[in-house]
Structure 1
Amino acid sequence: MMSSLFDHTAVTFQQAVVQLVDGCRRFAKWVVMGVVILTSILLVYTVNNLTLDTNPLNLLDPDLPFRQLDEEFVAAFPELDDLIVIVIDQGTSDAARDAVRQLAGTLSQQPALFSSIYDPAQGEFFDTYGLLYLKPDELWKLDERLSKWQPFLGTMVHDPSLRGLFSMLSLAVGENPNADEQILLAKVFDLLSEAIEAQIAGKPNPSSWKEAMLGDVTPKGDPKRRFLLAKPRLDYSTLEGAGGPIGFIRKQGKVLENTFGVRVRLTGSIPIETEERETLSKGAEMAGVLSISLVCLILLLGLRSVRLVGAMLFTLIVGLIWTGAFAVFTIGSLNFISATAPVLFIGLGVDFGIQLGMRYREAFDRLGVHQEALRQAASGVGGALTLSAIAAALSFFSFLPTAYRGFAELGLIAGGGMFLALFANLTFFPALLTIFPISRTKRISSIPQSSPNNSFTLPWVLRYRRPILFLMVPLTLAAVAALPLLRFDFNALHLRDPNTEGVSTFLELLKDPGTSPYVIHLLAQNLTKADELAARLKELDVVDRALTLSKYVPEDQEEKMAIIDDMALVLDPVLTPVEPLPFPSEEEEIRAVQDFQRKLEDQNNPLWTQKFSSSAKNLTASFDHFGASVGWNPEAIHELRKRLVGNFPQWLDRLRRLMNATPVTLETLPQALKDHYLAKDGRARVEVFSVFNGNDNTKLRQFARGVQEVDPRAIGSPVGIVEGGRAIIDACIQATIVAILASTVLLFVILRRPGEVLLVLLPLLMTMILTVAASLLFDVRLNLANVVALPLVLGLGIAFGIYLVLRKREGVSIAQVVQSSTSQAVLFSALTTMASFGALGFSAHPGMASLGILLVLTLTLALLCALVVLPALIGELEVRGWWKNG
């Protein structure tokens, strides 16, 4: 009785589909007119109301534990979230310092673009207290170095010009310097040579002689590289959420590069995401043109009718617009993942049109009557299309309950789009075919007849069915065995173009644990608890250092202050402000340079070391090169003075302040520094750095897990990457299981034959298993971008099986099915989807390219399973008498 009820329902539904299609045929003009008007209204509504949410954090459920910890941390330290990291380097340390100060001042005057600006080096503070952050032995070495430079500094204090510089060097060379003094002078000569050659080449100075004297007095790091952290005001309702702030920084960066000879680069999550959108946009434009061209070409080859292809494409566009309106009604915005819904819609929506169009083409060529061809096509494929749409929608809806909101929203939009695509193909498509009828061709008017007992008349798939099945068994078993080897690359950085400025700079910083952006943060109840937590973290093998605010209070200050006082006594004649000599003319400076050059040429002292002689000869050669290429004119002299003497008075003032430092306490630390380690409610931040450098996922996971074992409330980019990746993997596994179970239940309800259900699911299951093995074989890792292929293969894999099994159910042999329009439609459907996505494989964007490559691989396997393995298996069942039609 239940079976009879199902049969009656199926017949009733089939009749309803035929009546719907026939009704749209009879009122074709009204249907087309109504659809065009409705679609136009929905298009305007969608364009005006659909927004893009570019915040990557919104891709994951905010209720996830690590998301809640992240929100708690951002609430405590909002100035550390969504930062633009400005990297200034390639000039001298003085130039980098001055550039940072100027840029910080400029950005601070733009409150509409930036909510906060932070200098991690705290230049003003460390210009006064920097020596206290050196170790005692480093201070003694600095004391010894400055003592040797004292006479030179004294001369430069009185005469900060080229005359003073080269007069002092002439005197030093003429007094037969000893071995230690020659080492010192050789270093100066080398630095002067570099500066002169840089001026000739029109490049900034790579270093300066002042750096050789004092070196860096900040706690650690490259003195020529400085950072500035800018927190922009973001607008996530636009594609360029940080376009205004980034554009302003780049404009100011050009000014700094021209003024100070430095290089200004931007990195961090905000610039990288902005660059990625630009890269994706360019890649999508190229892929879009290529894929549309290929899809049209394939459809024309398969359908052999421009009007039929045109009707199919117009129907596809209508369904796409309806789906966009559905997205506005249900969600209101698209994220990076759900933005791929149009592509998925094209891949699956065109499949409905191909199945209906090719069945109509087959019937029309046989009958030559449009009305009857449409009725037969609707009767023959309407049920299969509906079942495929429901199965595909279930595959997409399976992501709704997962924690990956990016997939959940994609599932809702694409799942709803399947029903809209089905409705468009059953209404608008036949109406278009009625208004723009196609011509009849000389194709075969009926399905070819093949005898299952005559192997010579069978298609090759059926002739060689047993070798095919015997071969697929070990292949499938091997693929199943390879499943545990599958790895998911959860690091979004690997999906981005490494040639962009943001990513390349980020990767460069990752090479040094001291500058690595992969930092973990922990919140402690107070500073005392934070210090205790930092001490425990320091014991971990994966931790390089753990910083709290207390770490910025120098140790052994009494000992260091004593050394600094001794240094100040020795340098007192230099540090005492004096009235400089009258500034020389260009002629006097030129004479001083020439006198020094003659000193180098005249000296032939056997006591000179090889290094000193070599440096002197190189400097002489640089002078000659300068005179020959630039010339000793006033403009060149002015530029040379700027390069060699530069801001010596300001540098001397900095040295004076360093020598007058007082002890540092928590209270005397800069307020900006305090705000970055102490929250307003008294909680303290622990900043944890990894011992690992580079971009290895395994090491990143070890670092995150190691810190989490000490404090499970750890947060930061390493934790977010690891935990977010795990959430996405769990979501994919959960959704895949739910999709397969839901589709299985649906097929059991509709087909009511376990054998046919298994045959429908077989192409899907085999495709997924073989995809794993093929991805391992071709080194195509699953990642956050190409995982979008999962719902597509679920939808298409089930649809392919449904089309073939239901066509077989019509009472024809498998040989006839293989040679029918159904198999051809499956082939061209897969080919068009390959073309649609395969063009992405040529993109320069690694994530987009990986998506295209994996989809082509997956769809190739789906075709293999649907058009080779499944017919071979059904053919064997048919020969053995184990298949019953009807």
Structure 2
Amino acid sequence: MPTLFLDAALWRLMAFARKRPLLVGLFWAALAALSLFQVATRLSINTDSSDMIDPSAPFRVAATKLKSAFPDLDDQVVVLIRSGTADEAKAFTESLAERLRDDENVESLLAPPAEPFFQENGLLFLETTELEDLLARLTNAAPLIERLGPDPTLATLFDALAEAAEQDGASADPETLDALYAGLTEVFTTQDTVLSWEKLLSVGEEPEPEVLLTIEPVLDFTKLKPAQGVKTAILDAAAAVRSEDGLEAEVLITGEPILRTEELEAVSQGIGWALALSGVLVAVLLAFAFRSLRLVAACLVTIALSVILTAGVATALFGQLNLISVAFAVLMVGLGADFSIHLLMHWKDERGLGASERAAGYRTARKIGTALMLTAPTTALAFFSFAPTEFIGMNQLGVIAGLGVLLAFLIAMTVLPAMVRIGETVKPVDRLPEGLMNKVIRPLGIVVGALGIVSLFLLPYARFDADPMALRAVSAPSVIAFNEIADDEDAAPYRLSVLAESEDELLARADGFSDAETVSSTRHLFSFVPEDQDLKLTLIDAASVGLSFALISGGDLGPDLEPALGRLLVALREEESEAARTFETVLRERSLQQLESAAPRVFRFWPRQREALNAQLRAGFVTREDLPDPLAERFVTESGTYRLEILPEGDASDLAARRDFVDQVLSIAPDAAGSARTALSAGDVIEGAMVQASLTAAVLVSLLVLVVTRSIKVLVLLLIPLLLAGSLTTATGTLFGLPYNFANVLVLPLIIGIGIDSGIHLALRAEKTGDPLAGVRGPTGRAVVYSALTTIASFGSLIVSAHRGTSSMGALLTIGMLWVLATMLFVLPPLAQLLYDRKRSRLERTSA
């Protein structure tokens, strides 16, 4: 294995640094200062996962075309307003929308309960039969509505209910009366329940006590968090509604801008905590490894320089990091320590054996020079294998980390010789006993090898999670809101859109999906023009004859509360329904003061309901031009390009259902774009990128090792443990519910790139000495263990991140490095013994 030129090259580099420490120090310090300035002034983070895919990919081309026509479509903020009753939710929404309309952070908003168009024409959007039932119910309740008037009292209500009961429901249908009895019972028996008149006067399904409000925000891209302004404006306006209007509602905010803002917070905080934690853990491990503050400090200096200079390179090359490449800082903590650990461990050992300072450096270069000179380019090549993929997130990290590895090598090989002086009193590294192979390593090697073979059968069950939401923090408010509205058809996140240049084309394209089983409905501009308007308006006009008078009535002052209550109790005795009997019991158990104290909660939303009914009776014929601008702008451009929205049937958050939906839509409209297609297609691209990068890394690293060492044995000793480690990592992730995703797809290529370092050191020691345990027993084995542990510590620190993608990256990398350590320590030596024992047997037979 003619590699003496590598040993000599490393020694010359170390000797140069040793002779010129001041020059070396000034050189790296100047570069570090320049890097810090670049990072502070230019570096930013892009949290848009779609930007991590090559823009020439077909789904990106379709998405770009849709975005150019409707640039604000993906930047909408969705607000979910949830309260105790539908009445309060709508009242809260109206007040919130009124405050936000003039806010500088809001371009436009669409809040149906607060839109005059929907307030007046809402009845036209009901099915004809549903409208008939509602109008019949309202007509029956007209006498009750008339008596209550705009400012009713509890006495008026009780007297009206008594009259209705005495007339067997002539002034209100039995269903309405029972609902009113049940509602009043709840109000009188609780401390905070408010009567929902919306619920009492509706038909069909009970109205939901929540409202969706969509906002087109003004995003400030000069700031790190462009959507922070609109988020703050919404929360401040909601607080004002609570304090000034006395309304209560839960306000949940989501939408891509908010999701990205909170994701950036999670990633930034997670990387910050991980970086700090990894630094502490690595420092502790180095202290155990060297038991010398000077050597630990020297290692930490090389690590810090590696991180800073790599950040400077990243800023100079890209200027903007993504959710994947931002992890380079934590990775470089582990990678930056590897070369220093191997160099100092052997240098210290040689000094302990009695070599002079210079001789110790020379012997270290002769002993591990080839390994050190080979591990830097092999690891860098593994990272550079990310570059040809379509996944820009992986591509960017590969370039940054690849260059970072080379920088870390140069820093360690120059800074350490320049600043480190190891005294004569150090002890050599303890050697493990020779009997270790038979007692420990071979049995454990058999176990690990067997597990590796078993793990191959689990590989078909490994999966890739293509949902970007799988990356985000579960506890983030925007993610909670997203999950809450995921099943709401009006806000379903996984949908598709196609474009049309005319009304005829739009309607034709909509008809094309009428028989699609995976499509629940299509929606376009003309979908919001109600059908059968003539018939519906006739029904409304007929009902308004009696209702209009009831709604303009001033109401009935009625008797005092006590006689009204007495009359109602007598009337309730004749009622047979369960609701009436329960209501009678509650009334008898309450004093007049208790009932009067609940009156504000009974009538709190009555005036608003009365005004809403009055507005609905003013419905008129609706045309396309009558649609509110915030709604129309979502479906047609000023140039006349129409958008057709396609909604999925069933639960599109289920991966299989979503794929069926996307496949069927694309078979009808290949130009369809939207979140449903983007998530799936991006997943397919990234899954392919992981396989491509892994194979590329394996091939490039293998070729380099073969060219440098010219040894098939060394290559075999490296590849078999790596293949086992990769299979075991994937199988472990499958068993413990850690699928591959957008963030952790780089695990397998990283295992090849980083894991091969340990193998190279052990394999080359075995090749040079012919002893399979030569590397394990001495300083090489100890350096391999501590190098792997520092890498695990730095990668494992990512687990603390609230961002699930970053956390899963740390978890899988930790698992992967543990398996790398196990296969290199327990599988490689017995394999080397098998190969070199045969070599020695042949030599002995030839000699004989």
TM-score, normalization by structure 2: 0.92
Query: 2:672 aligned with 1:719, yes or no?
Result: no
Whole-angstrom CA distance in 2 between matches of 1:864 and 1:773: 15
Equivalent in 584, 588, 591 of residue 616 of structure 1: 584
- Give the letter for the 1:212 counterpart: L
- Give the letter for the 2:624 counterpart: L
Query: Could you tell me how far 1:465 is from its partner in structure 2?
Result: 6.6
What residue number does 1:208 align with? 196
Partner SS state of residue 522, structure 1: strand
Q: 1:545, 1:690 within 8 Å by CA — same for their partners in 2?
A: yes
What residue number does 1:143 align with? 135
- Give the letter for the 2:505 counterpart: K
Q: 1:513, 1:544 within 8 Å by CA — same for their partners in 2?
A: no
CA 1:263 to 1:779, structure 2 compared with 1: closer, same or farther past 3 Å? closer
Partner SS state of residue 768, structure 2: coil
Equivalent in 686, 691, 696 of residue 649 of structure 2: 691
CA 1:195 to 1:430, structure 2 compared with 1: closer, same or farther past 3 Å? farther
- The correspondence of residues 12-23 of structure 1 with structure 2, limited to 5 A, is 12-23=5-16
- The correspondence of residues 378-393 of structure 1 with structure 2, limited to 5 A, is 378-393=365-380
- Give the letter for the 1:554 counterpart: P
- Give the letter for the 2:142 counterpart: Q
What residue number does 1:244 align with? 229
Whole-angstrom CA distance in 2 between matches of 1:58 and 1:158: 56
TM-score, normalization by structure 1: 0.88
- Give the letter for the 2:766 counterpart: K
CA 1:243 to 1:744, structure 2 compared with 1: closer, same or farther past 3 Å? same
What residue number does 1:76 align with? 69
- Give the letter for the 1:527 counterpart: E
- Give the letter for the 1:54 counterpart: T
Equivalent in 184, 189, 197 of residue 181 of structure 2: 189
Query: Could you tell me how far 1:156 is from its partner in structure 2?
Result: 2.1
What residue number does 1:132 align with? 124
Query: 2:87 aligned with 1:119, yes or no?
Result: no
- Give the letter for the 2:239 counterpart: K
Q: 1:877, 1:883 within 8 Å by CA — same for their partners in 2?
A: no
- Give the letter for the 1:334 counterpart: L
- For structure 1, which runs of at least 5 residues remain unmatched after alignment? 451-456
Whole-angstrom CA distance in 2 between matches of 1:761 and 1:114: 58
CA 1:392 to 1:158, structure 2 compared with 1: closer, same or farther past 3 Å? closer
Equivalent in 618, 633, 645 of residue 603 of structure 2: 645
Residues 643-686 of structure 1 show CA distances to partners (whole Å, capped at 9, x for unaligned) of 43345445334323322322223233333322221223322211
Equivalent in 407, 410, 416 of residue 394 of structure 2: 407
Query: 2:44 aligned with 1:57, yes or no?
Result: no
Query: Could you tell me how far 1:187 is from its partner in structure 2?
Result: 1.4
Query: Could you tell me how far 1:699 is from its partner in structure 2?
Result: 1.5
Query: Could you tell me how far 1:865 is from its partner in structure 2?
Result: 1.2
Residues 618-647 of structure 1 show CA distances to partners (whole Å, capped at 9, x for unaligned) of 3555x54x946xx96xxx58xx43x43345
- The correspondence of residues 667-816 of structure 1 with structure 2, limited to 5 A, is 667-693=625-651, 695-811=653-769, 813-816=771-774
Partner SS state of residue 626, structure 2: coil
Query: Could you tell me how far 1:704 is from its partner in structure 2?
Result: 1.6
What residue number does 1:327 align with? 314
Residues 807-855 of structure 1 show CA distances to partners (whole Å, capped at 9, x for unaligned) of 2233351222210111111111111122222233355543333223212
Q: 1:523, 1:683 within 8 Å by CA — same for their partners in 2?
A: yes
CA 1:532 to 1:661, structure 2 compared with 1: closer, same or farther past 3 Å? same
CA 1:331 to 1:171, structure 2 compared with 1: closer, same or farther past 3 Å? same
Query: 2:546 aligned with 1:546, yes or no?
Result: no
Query: 2:196 aligned with 1:228, yes or no?
Result: no
- The correspondence of residues 286-365 of structure 1 with structure 2, limited to 5 A, is 286-365=273-352
CA 1:538 to 1:224, structure 2 compared with 1: closer, same or farther past 3 Å? farther
Whole-angstrom CA distance in 1 between matches of 2:587 and 2:370: 88
Query: Could you tell me how far 1:145 is from its partner in structure 2?
Result: 0.7
Equivalent in 106, 128, 131 of residue 99 of structure 2: 106
Residues 304-341 of structure 1 show CA distances to partners (whole Å, capped at 9, x for unaligned) of 22211111011110111111111122112222111111
Residues 83-127 of structure 1 show CA distances to partners (whole Å, capped at 9, x for unaligned) of 21111121433433333333333333233x233323366731122
CA 1:45 to 1:493, structure 2 compared with 1: closer, same or farther past 3 Å? closer
Equivalent in 483, 495, 510 of residue 471 of structure 2: 495
Query: Could you tell me how far 1:441 is from its partner in structure 2?
Result: 2.9
- Give the letter for the 2:397 counterpart: L
CA 1:46 to 1:545, structure 2 compared with 1: closer, same or farther past 3 Å? same
Q: 2:140, 2:171 within 8 Å by CA — same for their partners in 1?
A: no
- Give the letter for the 1:857 counterpart: I
Partner SS state of residue 834, structure 2: helix
| Greater CA drift, 710-719 or 174-183 | 174-183
Q: 1:458, 1:815 within 8 Å by CA — same for their partners in 2?
A: no
What residue number does 1:458 align with? 435
What residue number does 1:453 align with? none
CA 1:310 to 1:414, structure 2 compared with 1: closer, same or farther past 3 Å? same
- Give the letter for the 1:64 counterpart: A
Whole-angstrom CA distance in 1 between matches of 2:375 and 2:536: 78
Partner SS state of residue 784, structure 1: coil
- Give the letter for the 1:208 counterpart: S
What residue number does 2:846 align with? none
- Give the letter for the 2:391 counterpart: Y
What residue number does 1:26 align with? 19
Query: 2:615 aligned with 1:657, yes or no?
Result: yes
Partner SS state of residue 289, structure 2: helix
Partner SS state of residue 782, structure 1: coil
Whole-angstrom CA distance in 1 between matches of 2:78 and 2:682: 23
Residues 585-613 of structure 1 show CA distances to partners (whole Å, capped at 9, x for unaligned) of xxx9xx84444444455557254333311
Query: 2:846 aligned with 1:870, yes or no?
Result: no
| Greater CA drift, 643-652 or 417-426 | 643-652
- For structure 2, which runs of at least 5 residues remain unmatched after alignment? 844-848
| Greater CA drift, 529-538 or 351-360 | 529-538
Query: 2:272 aligned with 1:272, yes or no?
Result: no
Whole-angstrom CA distance in 2 between matches of 1:63 and 1:883: 58
What residue number does 1:396 align with? 383
Query: Could you tell me how far 1:73 is from its partner in structure 2?
Result: 0.8
Whole-angstrom CA distance in 2 between matches of 1:783 and 1:79: 27
Residues 466-521 of structure 1 show CA distances to partners (whole Å, capped at 9, x for unaligned) of 66666566544443343332211111212223233221221122234454222211
Query: Could you tell me how far 1:871 is from its partner in structure 2?
Result: 0.8
Query: Could you tell me how far 1:138 is from its partner in structure 2?
Result: 0.9
Cα-Cα RMSD? 3.0
Partner SS state of residue 647, structure 2: strand
Count the aligned residue pairs.
841
Query: 2:145 aligned with 1:153, yes or no?
Result: yes
Q: 2:35, 2:313 within 8 Å by CA — same for their partners in 1?
A: no
What residue number does 1:426 align with? 413
Q: 1:51, 1:238 within 8 Å by CA — same for their partners in 2?
A: no
Whole-angstrom CA distance in 2 between matches of 1:506 and 1:41: 42
Partner SS state of residue 769, structure 2: coil
Q: 2:770, 2:836 within 8 Å by CA — same for their partners in 1?
A: no
Equivalent in 238, 251, 255 of residue 240 of structure 2: 255
Whole-angstrom CA distance in 2 between matches of 1:114 and 1:108: 7
Whole-angstrom CA distance in 2 between matches of 1:320 and 1:411: 15
